[in-house]
Structures are given as C-alpha cells and as structure tokens.
Structure 1
C-alpha cells in the first residue's frame, strides 16, 4: 500500500511506466530541518542570548605573554583567556550530547560552557596607530588545539606582514582535549559516536561566541590595546576564517553556519570524512587498528564509516552543501560567503579527490592557468570574485593512486601549501581585496619548488 501511495506515483510522475520496473525501493534521507537547521538555531540563539545578557557574557584573561618587538625576531603578544559561551549539551565539556526535550527535537540552551581561546597581536599592529586590517579565526588540525595558531611560524609571519590579529579556540569534539573520549569510542563503543558530531555543533556555537566577544567585549580590554593605548579591534573589524586540514574539513560547515564570516580559506580541505578516511595515511597509522577491535572485516568497516557519516554530516561541510542549491525550499543559509580552497597534489592525509568534491559543492572555479582540469569545476580568468579551488603541484611529487588508498608518504605535501609564498600572497589578496588571483605566475601552480627551509619528508 505504501508503494502504491508514494513510490509508484513519484516514479510515474517522472515518465516511467510501472510495468517497466524490475526493482523499486525507498529509503529515508536527512532533511535540512533535522540537521543543519538545528545547528543554525543553536548559533543564532547563542548570539541572541549573549547580546541580550541572558547568557551572562563574562570572560577572563588567564595569561599574557608579552611581545618582543625589538631586534630581528619579532614576536607578537599572546593572550590566553576563557569566555562563557551558551551551552547546548547535557553537561558542558567533552563527551556530552546535545540536550533536547524530545528525541530529535530542537536543541535547548543549558547554562554556559567555558571556551578557552588564544589571541595573537603582531608587533606590526601593536606599533601602528590604526586598528588591524582584519582578524583571522584559525581552525586547527586533527585532534590538535588552539595553541597551533601560536606555534605555527607561517601564521605568525603572515599576521606580522599583513597587520592581522589571530584568534583561535579548541574544536569541541575533535581537539586534543577530546582525544580520550574519541579513542574510547573507536576502541570499544561506536554506539556513542553521535556525541562527536553533537560536540562539533557546540563547537560552531563556541566559534560564533568568540567573534561576538571579540567585537563586543575584548576590543576594549587592556590586553587587546596597542602600545600607545590605541584600540586595535573595532566592532566592525572583519573576521575571516583560515582552516587547515581538519580545520578545512570542518570549516566549510562552520562558515556556512556563521552570521559573522564572509571570507574563508580552507587549506588542504575535503569532504566528507567517510571519503577521506580510507584514502588517508592517518587512517592507516592508527585509526584502522583501533576500529579493528570492533569491526573485523574491512568490507564491514567501509559500511560502518559510511553509516557514521550520516551522523557526521551536520558537524562538517557535507551536511551543509545541499542548502546552497535548495534555498527555495527550507534552508536559510547566510548570503555572501566566499571560499578559497588550496590543496596539494600528492597529499597523503587529505586526498585532493575530497577537496574537489568540496569545490564542486561550493560552486568554485579553478584559476587560469589551472594546474589540471577538475571535473565539474570550470576554469575562470582571474581575478575571481566568487569562490575558487587552487591546486599546487610541487616538484618531484609521485603520481596520485587511482584506487582507494593514500598517496605515497615520500612526497606528502599536506603541510607544504600553507608555507608556499605564492599561496600566502593569494590568501592576502583574497582577505584584503576580495579577489582571487593567479599568484604562481603565467604557468600556474605547477612544478613548484619546496618553500625555503621546509622538507615535507622531515
């Protein structure tokens, strides 16, 4: 009866005759309202609660590492702090799922969560009479922490050169502070995996909370003032997103959920996780051994990863892309977000196949002269005012495998793109001018030399 009422009429509406069918079936897919719309509610509600005072907007500056701006080694000011952000989990912190009154219902605010943050104010900003040009919200790598924003020489150098502030938080759900809980899930209890995407959604809220504090509270704090007492941040200072590896994977969903961010750089990104995992050297370096304690056969493991992706979707980019194409139905994404994706041929940790999927979903173009033709991604003449995918081919890179395995680690360029001067120039132009240029030269980003002093094999 169900097929007569729903399935066959739908098939016949597309011109098929029922007598022509040999096999018919139906299955359910997640709707926008059952996934991203709930995350949007959390983000929007959190901003309203902070603005109205209902969330009790309080923060503390926990430590300041003073700047060293004299001499050749210029080190900016580090500010470590904690802010109170609205919590939507049963209890604040790792390992807790989203609080809902009804199963599958709208998430409910439940007190506050301590969100630890770090900020970097470069010497070029501290010494200047004007505010910073923009702030960069940094998204860290796999199971890392906010300290990656401070410890990355390339990012500190970029901030100094372009007079940009840098801020970062820990990705709730997939940071070093979640490692023990995630390890337990992989080793013994996959049934609790839903907590990971729930925590990632709380992480989206935490990221929005940080920007709200930056624009409404922290800008007036003495720790954020320049050497002459000048204010370095304004309420309308642009905040751009720069996510690397895991930060690029989660970043597309985070930016699409954000009411604050309009420009985002996703470095060595990709989606979805289920596609990335079995093509990543990281998977074979430990995750597969952990999963093998619960899932013995590789064919079953492939099925498990695909099933888990249904939960993971809303916490990364994959669950958000449909909203870009069906705006006339139920999704209400914020307008005007633009993305610059940068990947590297031979990346052994996040395959370029996944970056290309993300690029198609975000409506990217490649920049003439493109490194190679990418299916479904047209080549465009620079400057590009929309979104773009730029692929870097470094000298001596081994060919990418055609089957379901990771690239050869001998020429893994997962960390090379972020250090390439042409790539950094491209990011700077995008953040400052809103234009995406071909910064590698007339030949495009092919046969690129290793950045000075960097060896991907070390």
Structure 2
C-alpha cells in the first residue's frame, strides 16, 4: 500500500513542482497573518490516508482539496490566490484550467475579468459542503440569533486576521425550494456587514453532526493539517504553513484546534478595486466636462400620455430627450460592450460620447410659476426603464417635485436579453457590470443638467409661461426604489451632485438577496439551464458577486454617509424597508444600513417574526420621535414577516399555509398577510410627507408617532 501511495505522491509532487509560481494558495504573502508560525514537529500520515488524499489531488489538480466534493469549495479560498507585490493586497486571484465551471454547452468560464482582482469581494458568500449536517445540532448561529456567532461554542467562526476580531454572522443550509433534499449539502455563512477591503479572513467550522447526532467525518485534506500529519504530497506541504496560520488564528479566537472540522482563509480585494474604478470614471468624466453643462437635446414634449390619456394628476408636461456623457465603453456602448481599460486595468475614456436618454415630468404649479419645483433624479427598478418615473403614484407632483430619470444601463429594459444570456454563460456578464458603472456616471451627469444654469433650466421647454425658471437649481436630490435603491447606494456614495437621497426598498449583495427574492423563480431556472448541477446556482452567483461588488451597493455601502470616498461630500439618506418584502430581502437592507452606520427607527415593526429580536443585532437605533441625520425605517403593512433562510417569503411554509398556494391572487385584498409589500412604502402618504420635508429641510421628521410605521393594505 505504501508503494502505491508513493507512486501517486511522486506524480503529484512533480506536478506541484511544475506549478510552483503559477498556482495559488502559497504562504508567502498573508495580509494580517504575519510570518508563518514556527511549525511543531509533524507525525507521518497513515499510509492509507496519504494514498487517498494524493489520489484525490491528482484527480482534481486545479481544485481545492480541503473540500473534495466541489472543486472551488470551500469558497472563497486562498487556494485561488497568488502573490503579486504590485497590488495593494499583495495578492491576485488566479485559477488553473479546470477550476472554473463549464456550462451545459461546454463553454468554460474564462478568468479574464476575475484575474484583475486582488482578492475576493466584500460581499462574497462564504460556502462549503457538509453533507447531512444538522445546523441546530451543530450549534450554527442562526439568522434570528447572529450574536451567538461571537460566543464560545458557536459551530462556525469567522476571524478577521488583520485585526484578530471575530466577525458576527449567521450560517444556514441551502434552502432553495427546487433543490432535492439529498442535494441540500451547501452551508453558507453570511457576515452582518460587508467585509473590510484588503483584510484577510479565516473561517472555521467546528465538528458538525448529522440528524442523529453522529459526528461527520473530517476531510483527509484538513485532517493532515489539523493533526499535523506529514505527507509527501507537494500541494499539501506547499500550503501547510498558511493553513496552519488559519488554524492558530481560529484557536486564538476560541475554536480549539482539536474541535476544528475545517479551516481556510481568503483575502478581500482592496478598496482600489472595489470603488476605485467608479471614482476614476467620475473624476475623468467631470474633468472633461469642466465648468460646462452636458450637451442635451429635447426630442419630445407631451401634454398627454403615450396612449393619449391624461397625464397623472398635477403633471402638466412631460419632456423627453437625450444628453451626452463621456463614454468608457467600447464602440457604440451597446449591450455586450466592455469597458476600455489602460495597462493598469483602470477605466479609460474611449474618446466617444454616450447618448443617454432622459425623461422629466413637470408639475402644473411649476409651469404656472406659482412655486419653483425641486428637481429629483429618479432611479428605476429591476430591468426597467426611466419611464417608471412618469408614474403618478409617488406623490411627486403634489409635493412640486420634478423627477427626471435615465436608464440604469447594464440592468435596464434594453439589457434583458444580455442579462438572461449571461446567466447561462457568465463569460458575458462583465459587460453588464461595465455598463452599470457607466450608468452611474450617466446619473451624475443628469443631476448636473438639473442644477447648471446652462442645463435644463435654460431650455424653453422647462420655462414657465412667462419665461422664468420653473424649478430651483440650487440643489438636486435622489430617489430610487428596488433596483433604484440598490444602485442608489452606489450613485449616492460617489455623488458630488446631491447630498440627500431616499433609498427605497434596497438591499446589498445580489448573491444573498436573489435566492431570497421571488425573482429567483424566474432567474434560477435560467441559471440551471446553463449550469445544471445542484450547487451551480449558488456558485455562479458567488462568482458574479466578485464583479458586482464594483457596481452595486455591496461595495459602496460603507461610504454612503460619513465614511466618504475621495473628493466626495457627506450624504444623508432615508432607507425605506417593506416588512416581509418578497423581492428584496429585509436582511439585505439591514446589512446595508449596518455597513453604512445608519440607525434603525424603533419600534421597527409589530412582529419581526421567526424569533428575531429588535433592534437587529449590531445596529444602532433611534427612538420614535427622535431625529437622526440618516435613518432606516420599516413600513409594516401587516404582511407576513420574512422567513429565515435563503428562500422568498411566498415560497416559505408560513405563506403557503396561510395564503393561496402558488400566488397571492385574490388573497392580496382579502388577507394583507399574503401581499407583496414591495411597492407600499413609496405609495404611503406619511412616507411621502417625510421625504418632502427631508428634501426641503434636511431634517428626518418622525411621521409615525410612538408606534411602528404602518402602511396599507393591512388587517387591523
């Protein structure tokens, strides 16, 4: 047996020697890890164990052998990092051929977009396989009680190796309803805030048990590290020092070496990668613009709707047109086009202009000259269009607010085809991210048009009947809901144009919120059509998140209010959350606020449900009647609270048992508990009044009295 093992080991050692310098997971650079610890004397590994491990590594040479069930698990892992002294983290992502997934058409994921990264995303999911695990019996911290993750005895531990502090989180088993129970083997860990850029983290799993209380066997790969078993296997010994640092860091944090079932580490990408691209784009674009207003053209002036009906009450004129924005995208910047980058991979002006569309709705009052309107940049929802701002149910006209909107290119109506295609072949996805980044610049240029004396206010279509200015150019505001809230976090964090924003029903971290959304019922099958293994839905979202962090709220929430980016003012925000939202998970909004340092209004809701406590752990709070410069407010319509786990409310057992199976249908009216409250806050008169006063004064007045904030419909 030893002879056969030696033969396999020799082959693996030779392969490892050839790969040194190009394979990830070495122990030379370790952000926060310090120098490799002095290694105690090792004991020879049992021959059979060594033979099995060597054979497994030989079979999957591009993979991480700590979790033999899935090539890229545990995820994310320093196995797929390598030294690079030129990056801020001194690390770089690197994948050997065979590591990244292949879709059902045989197309391998190319690492082009990922190898630019000097670490993993701030919003990365943390995952591994534990087949048959009983989360409760294994003392996993639950979503309802994440504080337990910081206590001795927690079944999962995350340590920030740069600071030595434990990270509050919860752990859960894959809950997607379409997954067969036998395939429900992925455990996910979710930190309560976005991870710190540039920091190194260690993740530890304590000895788990199955449903009968029986301990689950440790992997051979981790056993030889934990038990200090010497092997002749090159890839193992090459990583031993770094992996031992992880074990020691976790032991120091309270998870004893003997109790560890799995331990690994990863480095988070630098803020230069996360936010630097957009800041570079903003600064280049406005430097090119100088003191001028963006060029624009009015193409259509309407006094009726497109179908000839009357405009919403209070709206007297609708103006549509185009404006010019410096482009960072190749060619015509259409879906599928990528960003132009310099030799350092930084965004570079293409030399061309992007023609963005706009629509503005003018009130009767402003055109009559009785009151100058306040201009508002409006952000539309998921895969929608700027014309959502033309709806009349947001109370904008009554408040004499003039909304103007442009498309969130990258995730707009025009991008539906490319977005769907990218879910089946994620090689196409970088274009969506690049276009999203361009769209943020487009939003900022639209805001400049609303305040510049040579902008919209100079056009006769925007003047009063007597020729005067119809709106106040001294300040512009932002309001966006759903995707407009998610992307509003990004645009506000980098905005030099507005300092007050209403962020409606938002979240951060698409890889977290999509499986918790009823939209998963549409997009999950699309992913499964391209990547059909049970684990692929989670793995594909995890890979996409590494890129999304550069263009969605996850990467920018920490800079939303006071922890500002270079050249950016502080901002005030109202974050509106709909209790039990079916489309954007409540927990993702709480993560956004917690990361941004935005407090929650208390009392938040009448019943948080599922054993949750109020205020949520780790969040600052403000009592009813008190003012705050920024605030998260729950709006309670009497709907069922969000369930625990990665599942949308309308697919969870409480909803199914109380509501008509399959859809809310008539129950939306008959039983408020069954409704999707996603759009309720923006339509609530009290929420609109609060917004109006906030835009007028900068003060967030409490409009709910001593009770939780309520909205319709509700029973009782």
Tell me the TM-score normalised to structure 1 length. 0.87
Distance 1:269 1:15 in 2: 31
Whole-angstrom distance in 1 between the partners of 2:473 and 2:515 = 44
Matches of 2:35 and 2:263 in 1, distance apart? 11
Deviations 1:250-288 (A, max 9, x none): 11011111111101111111011111100000111x101
Contact 2:325 2:442 in 1 (8 A): yes
Tell me the distance in 2 between the aligned counterparts of 1:325 and 1:257. 10
Greater shift after overlay, 426-435 or 140-149? Answer: 426-435
Do residues 392 (structure 1) and 635 (structure 2) align? Answer: yes
Partner residue in 1 for 2:283: 44
Matched, 1:232 2:451: no
- Within a 5 Å distance, the mapping from 1:50-449 to structure 2 comes to 50-51=289-290, 57-66=294-303, 73-91=313-331, 92-102=333-343, 104-132=345-373, 134-150=374-390, 152-155=391-394, 158-187=395-424, 189-216=425-452, 217-236=455-474, 238-284=475-521, 286-323=522-559, 331-332=565-566, 334-371=568-605, 372-381=614-623, 382-395=625-638, 397-408=639-650, 410-446=674-710, 448-449=711-712
Tell me, yes or no, if the aligned pair for 1:90 and 1:110 is still in contact at 8 Å: no
8 Å contact kept, 1:324–1:362: yes
**What TM-score do the two structures reach when normalised by structure 2?**
0.57
SS at match of 1:27: strand
Call closer, same or farther: CA 1:373–1:35 in 2, change over 3 Å.
Answer: closer
2:636–2:708 Cα contact (<8 Å) kept: no
Deviations 1:143-196 (A, max 9, x none): 01011001x2223xx222221111000001011011111122123x21121111
Tell me how far 1:407 sits from its aligned partner: 0.9
Q: Are residues 1:3 and 2:27 paired? A: yes
Supply the distance in 2 between the matched residues of 1:247 and 1:57 (Cα, whole angstroms): 23
CA contact (8 A) 1:383 1:435 kept: no
CA-CA distance at 1:425 after TM superposition: 1.5
**Helix, strand or coil for the counterpart of 1:9?**
coil
In 2 relative to 1, CA 367–398 (structure 1 residues): closer, same or farther, beyond 3 Å? closer
Displacement, 1:338? 1.1
Distance verdict in 2 for CA 1:214–1:71, change over 3 Å = closer
Aligned partners of 2:29, 2:328: CA distance in 1, in Å? 39
Closer/same/farther in 2, CA of residues 429 and 235 from structure 1, 3 Å limit: closer
Kindly indicate whether the alpha-carbon contact (under 8 Å) linking 2:580 and 2:649 is maintained by their aligned counterparts in 1: yes
Query: Which residue matches 1:34?
Result: 273
Q: Shift in Å at residue 375 of structure 1?
A: 2.3
What is the number of residues matched between the two proteins?
438
In 2, the alpha carbon distance for the partners of 1:347 and 1:26 equals: 34
Q: CA deviation at 1:339?
A: 1.1
Compared with structure 1, are the counterparts of its residues 71 and 315 closer, same or farther at alpha carbon in structure 2 (3 Å cutoff)? closer
* Aligned mates of 1:11, 1:344 — CA distance in 2: 48
* Partners of 1:99 and 1:110 within 8 A in 2: no
Identify if the C-alpha distance between structure 1 residues 71 and 86 changes in structure 2 by more than 3 Å, giving closer, same or farther: closer
Judged with a 3 Å threshold, the aligned counterparts in structure 2 of structure 1 residues 232 and 72 are, in CA distance, closer, same or farther, namely: closer
235 and 184 in structure 1: CA distance in 2 versus 1, 3 angstrom threshold: same
Q: Distance between the aligned counterparts of 1:119 and 1:320, measured in 2? A: 27
Distance, in Å, in 2 between the alignment partners of 1:146 and 1:278 is 26
Asked if structure 1 preserves the Cα contact closer than 8 Å seen for 2:586 and 2:642, the reply is no
How far 1:442 moved relative to its partner? 2.3
Aligned to 2:713: 450
Q: Secondary structure at the match of 1:208?
A: helix
Moved more, 415-424 or 170-179: 415-424
SS in 1 for 2:366: helix
Partners of 2:466 and 2:315 in 1: how far apart? 18
Shift of 1:25: 5.4
In 1, Cα distance between equivalents of 2:574 and 2:551: 20
Q: Offset at 1:341?
A: 0.6
Question: How far did residue 71 of structure 1 move?
Answer: 12
RMSD: 3.0
- Mapped partners of 2:682, 2:701: distance in 1: 16
Look up the SS of the partner of 1:259 in the other structure.
Answer: coil
Partner SS for 1:373: coil
Distance of aligned partners of 1:306 and 1:262 in 2 relative to their CA distance in 1, 3 Å threshold: same
Aligned-residue offset at 1:74: 3.6
* Greater Cα radius of gyration, structure 1 or 2: 2
